[in-house]
């Protein structure tokens, strides 16, 4: 039996990961970087990251996930990876999004602790030590908080402040900055969570709900020097929709009737009130015509359609979840890998 096969037959629990025979040769830290068209930043990032990691003095691997870049990002990564076996590169077939990139990194990470960091030099690798120190205090997830965030106010910071407030309220896990990519996780925590959509930002909420300790520390943040942000205002809507999903999955996924039933009752009530009102008018004065009230029709129609859409969306989310979890189908497709290490987790066949 090959080593890989033995590893893959080990169940994916925390203790078995630690007890696996090759634990000594695996690195302590895995740094996961999502990369989409960041050719100008990669070399500087690599230098600053390796300097910071060398200073920490622990064993590490860097997993750079090229999310279908159309610039020279992959070529630069390949060149560096040929000189440094600790740099592992995964190249996607197309752009699958930042969540998929994180997911591929987590699937491949062998370290006990996983660090995520953006490739655009907005996060400072020198902060990694502080994340780890916080983790040593007994936390399983330590999230960075861009306390002095260097992004435009109206298009970035304001939506982010509102989103963080909403997410904190709705998930019950109060963090200042869900969107900061610089985070540290205990590997077993993050590897148990299946990711899709824009869900990577909700990992602390989901993890905390599973009973792990989440902390937050302020980290540095710099303005983007090269390239452009990969996101526009559309992200706000996507994050809001994901928030509804997360809330739903956290509280109602095991008893969908609680929410569907409630919505159904509410909508029936919303329909009954105008219906009773119209019936009453008709009964009091038979000559009044109630069939020509377009506004009323519109209101009823909108309510019904709204309810239908929400319900369908939630059922869809459940189906998607079942689909991904039962087939353990990854949410990305890989073109090639450099410095590929034996898999610890089961990924694609
Ligand atoms: N990114 C990615 N795939 C995408 C979009 C972004 O891998 O489809 C990477 C990007 O290269 C960067 C990180 O995710 O390393 C964060 O993206 P960006 O800086 O554009 O987001 P912002 O800082 O504006 O929130
Ligand atoms: Mg950025």
Confidence band for 251, pLDDT divided at 50, 70 and 90: confident
How far is ligand 1, taken at its centre, from the CA of residue 120, in Å? 8
Domain residues of the chain, as ranges?
A: 3-253, 257-325
State the chain's mean pLDDT as an integer.
Answer: 85
| Residue whose token pair is 């919303």 | 270
Ligand 2 midpoint to CA 199 (Å)? 17
Q: How is domain 3-253 classified at the CATH fold level?
A: Spore Coat Polysaccharide Biosynthesis Protein SpsA; Chain A (3.90.550)
Structure tokens given for 258: 């609680």
Q: Which residues approach ligand 1 with their CB closer than 6 A?
A: 34-36, 38, 67, 95, 97-98, 101, 118-120, 122, 229-231
**pLDDT tens sequence across 144-199:** 999 999 999 999 999 999 999 999 998 889 999 999 999 999 999 998 888 877 88
Could you give the 3-state DSSP secondary structure of residue 24? helix
Q: What is the pLDDT of residues 264-317, one digit of tens each?
A: 778 777 777 887 888 888 899 988 887 787 767 877 777 788 777 778 777 877
Query: Which atom of ligand 1 has the smallest separation from the CA of 119?
Result: 15
Q: Provide the β-strand partners of residue 146.
A: 219
Does pTM surpass 0.95?
A: no
Please name the residues in contact with 316: beta carbons below 8 A apart, sequence gap of 6 or more. none
């Amino acid at each position: 039996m090959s080593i890989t096969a033995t590893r893959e037959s080990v169940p994916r629990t925390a203790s078995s990961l630690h007890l696996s025979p090759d634990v000594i040769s695996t690195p302590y830290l895995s740094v996961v970087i999502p990369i989409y068209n960041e050719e100008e930043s990669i070399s500087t990032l690599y230098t600053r990251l390796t300097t910071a990691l060398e200073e920490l003095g622990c064993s590490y691997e860097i997993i750079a996930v090229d999310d279908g870049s159309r610039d020279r990002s992959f070529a630069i990564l390949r060149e560096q990876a040929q000189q440094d076996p600790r740099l592992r590169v995964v190249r996607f077939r197309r752009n699958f999004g930042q969540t998929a990139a994180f997911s591929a990194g987590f699937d491949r990470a062998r370290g006990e602790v996983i660090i995520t960091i953006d490739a655009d030099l907005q996060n400072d690798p020198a902060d990694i030590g502080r994340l780890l120190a916080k983790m040593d205090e007994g936390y399983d997830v330590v999230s960075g908080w861009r306390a002095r965030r260097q992004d435009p106010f109206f298009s970035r910071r304001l939506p982010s402040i509102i989103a963080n407030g909403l997410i904190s309220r709705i998930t019950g896990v109060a963090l200042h900055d869900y969107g900061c990519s610089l985070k540290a996780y205990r590997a077993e925590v993050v590897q148990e969570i299946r990711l899709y959509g824009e869900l990577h930002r909700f990992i602390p909420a989901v993890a905390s709900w599973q009973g792990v300790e989440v902390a937050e520390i302020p980290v540095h943040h710099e303005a983007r020097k090269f390239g452009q942000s990969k996101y526009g205002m559309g992200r706000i809507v996507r994050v809001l929709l994901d928030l509804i999903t997360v809330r739903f999955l956290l509280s109602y996924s095991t008893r969908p009737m609680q929410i569907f039933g409630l919505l159904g009752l509410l909508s029936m009530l919303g329909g009954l009130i105008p219906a009773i009102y119209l019936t009453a008018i008709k009964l009091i004065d038979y000559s009044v015509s109630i069939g020509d009230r377009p506004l009323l029709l519109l209101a009823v129609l909108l309510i019904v359609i709204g309810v239908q859409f929400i319900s369908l969306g939630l059922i869809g989310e459940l189906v998607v979840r079942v689909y991904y979890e039962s087939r353990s189908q990854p949410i990305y497709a890989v073109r090639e890998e450099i410095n590929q290490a034996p898999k610890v987790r089961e990924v694609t066949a």
